[in-house]
Structure 1
Amino acid sequence: MKKSLSTQVTILIVLMLSLSFLCACSNDNEDNNSANTIKQTLTESDKNALLFMLEEEKLARDTYIFLNNEWSLNQFANIKNSEQTHMNAVESLLIQYDIEYNILPIGEFANQDLQNFYDQFILDGSVSQINALKIGATIEDLDIVDLQNYIEDTTNTDLISVFNSLRCGSRNHLRSFVFGIENSGSTYEPQFLTSEEYYTIINGSHERCN
Structure 2
Amino acid sequence: MKSIIKNSLLIFLLAVSYISFSQDKSMSEIEDMKYMVEEEKMARDVYEYLGDKWNLRVFNNIKQSEQRHMEMMQNLLEVNKIDYTISKEKGVFFNKELQKIYDALITRGSTSVLEAIEVGKLIEKKDIEDLEGAIRNSQDDFAKQVYSYLLKGSQNHLRAFNRQLSRY
Relative to the length of structure 1, the TM-score reads: 0.69
**1:101-142 alpha-carbon deviations (Å, 9 max, x no partner):** 111111011111111111111111111110000000100000
Relative to the length of structure 2, the TM-score reads: 0.86
Please state if 1:146 is matched with 2:130. Answer: yes
- Which residue identity lines up with residue 115 of structure 1 in the other structure? Q
CA–CA separation in structure 1 for the residues paired with 2:96 and 2:86? 14
Equivalent residue number for residue 38 of structure 1:
19
**Which aligned runs of 4 or more in structure 1 are off by greater than 3 angstroms?**
35-39
Equivalent residue number for residue 52 of structure 2:
69
Equivalent residue number for residue 120 of structure 1:
104
In structure 2, the gaps of 5 or more residues are: 1-7
Per-residue deviation at 1:155? 1.3
- Which residue identity lines up with residue 68 of structure 1 in the other structure? G
Equivalent residue number for residue 157 of structure 1:
141
Equivalent residue number for residue 75 of structure 2:
92
Return the structure number with greater helix share: 2
**1:174-204 alpha-carbon deviations (Å, 9 max, x no partner):** 00001111111xxxxxxxxxxxxxxxxxxxx
CA–CA separation in structure 2 for the residues paired with 1:135 and 1:69? 15
- Greater C-alpha Rg: 1
Structure with bigger RCO (C-alpha 8 Å, 6+ apart) = 2
**Secondary structure of the residue that 1:58 maps to in structure 2?**
helix
CA–CA separation in structure 1 for the residues paired with 2:27 and 2:143? 13
Q: Name the % identity.
A: 38
Q: How does 1:1-210 map to 2 (within 5 A)?
A: 35=15, 38=19, 40=22, 41-104=24-87, 105-184=89-168
In structure 1, the gaps of 5 or more residues are: 1-27, 185-210
- Which residue identity lines up with residue 52 of structure 2 in the other structure? N
